[in-house]
Chains A and B, each alone.
Chain A
Amino acid sequence: MSQGTFWYWRKLLRIDEPVSEEYLKEFKSPLVIFRPLFYLLVYILCKLYFRVKVFGIENIPKNQPYILAPNHQSALDQTMVSYAIGRKRREDLYTLATKLFYDRPVANIFIKIATNALRIDTVEDFFPALRAAAKVLKLKSSVYINPEGTRSETGQLLPFRVGVGVLAVETGAPIVPVYVDGTFRSMPPGRYFPKPVQITVTFGKPIYMDGYFKKKENEMAYDVYKEVTDELFKRVSLLKVGNKDI
C-alpha cells in the first residue's frame, strides 16, 4: 500500500513545475553590495584570528548543483563555510536560514550580506522552503542546508532531519557532507563575540543519488529519504572524528 509514494512528494514540492530564471533574484538582497567588504573582513579574520584550515575542497562537484550539508553549532558556521568555498561558489549558493535567525532585524541584515538567504520555518511549515530550495537546484545553483535544523547547544551532533534527503533525492543533487570544527569553542550559542580558536572546515566526498532513484519507485519514499539522511549523518560523524577521507 505505502509503496512508491514519491509522486505525492513531488506534487507537494511542485518539483515538475517550470521555474523562471528570474526566480533567483528574489533572494539577492540589495545589501549584497556590502558583500565584498564583508568577506574582505572575514578573510582577514580567518587568516589571522581563526587560522582557518580547509580540507577536501576538491570534493565539491564541478559543473553541477549540489547541497552543502554542514553540522551547526555556532552562528559562525555559515560564514566559515562560505569563506572556505571561495567567492565564485559563494555567489551561487543559497542558504536555508531558520526563521529564528532570519526574523531578527540585525541578524537579517547580516545574513543577507553574507549569503543569498531563503527563510525556513522548521517548526510550523518547512514545505515553502523546501520548494524554494528545489527551484534553486533546478536552476543549477546550489543550496546550503543545516540538516540538524538548529544549532547544537552542546557541540554534539543533533539528529538530522529528513528534509535534506527529500531535497536531494527529488532533485538529484548530490549532498556534500561538511564538518565545521572549532566554532563551538569560539562562539557557542549565547555568546556574541568569538574567541580566537582555530577553525577547520572539512568537505567530505559527495553522496550521489543514482543508487536511490530505483529504490524510490518501489519503497515508501520517506524510507528512501531517511536512508539518504542517515548516510549523511554517518559521513558527517566520521568527518567529526577526524576521518578526512570520507
Chain B
Amino acid sequence: MAEIEQEIKEMVAKIIKVDERMIKPDANIFIEYGVDSLLGVEILAGLDKKFGLDIPEEKLKEIKTLNDIIRIAKETISKKA
C-alpha cells in the first residue's frame, strides 16, 4: 500500500505541476497551490489509467487533499478486491 501511496503522490505532483516534496498530505491542493478544481478530473483520469480504478464522478467533490485521493483510491481498491 505504501508503494501505491507513493505512486499516487508522484502522479498528483505531475498533474498539478508542483514538486512532489512540497505536497503536504492534508493541504487543500486547490487552495494551497492555486490549482484549478477541474484538475480533479485529471486526477480521477490518472487513477483510472494507472490503477484501473473506475471512481464515480461524485467523488470529485471529496477530492481536496492528497490524503483524500489516497483514501478514495484505497476504498475503490478494496471494493474491487
- Among A1, A8, A124, A125, which residue has its beta carbon within 8 angstroms of that of B41? A8
Smallest CB separation, B34 vs chain A (Å): 11
Q: Are A162 and B61 in contact (CB under 8 A)?
A: no
Q: Are A124 and B42 in contact (CB under 8 A)?
A: no
Q: What CA separation (Å) do A9 and B38 show in the bound complex?
A: 10
Q: What CA separation (Å) do A163 and B36 show in the bound complex?
A: 11
Chain A contact residue count (CB 8 A cutoff): 18
Smallest CB separation, B16 vs chain A (Å): 10
| B57 close to A (CB within 8 Å) | yes
Q: Are A8 and B38 in contact (CB under 8 A)?
A: no
Q: Are B11 and A222 in contact (CB under 8 A)?
A: no
| A127 close to B (CB within 8 Å) | yes
Smallest CB separation, A78 vs chain B (Å): 24
Number of A-B contacts (CB under 8 A): 44
Smallest CB separation, B72 vs chain A (Å): 15
| B49 close to A (CB within 8 Å) | yes
1-45 of chain A: CB within 8 A of chain B: 1-2, 5, 7-9, 12
34-60 of chain B: CB within 8 A of chain A: 36, 38-39, 41-42, 44-46, 48-50, 57
**Looking at B36, B45, B48, B61, which has the most chain A CB atoms within 10 Å of its CB?**
B45
Listed A/B pairs (23) with beta-carbon separation below 8 Å: A1-B11, A1-B49, A2-B14, A2-B42, A2-B45, A5-B42, A8-B45, A8-B48, A9-B41, A9-B45, A12-B41, A12-B57, A125-B61, A163-B38, A166-B38, A220-B15, A220-B42, A222-B36, A222-B38, A222-B39, A222-B42, A225-B38, A226-B36
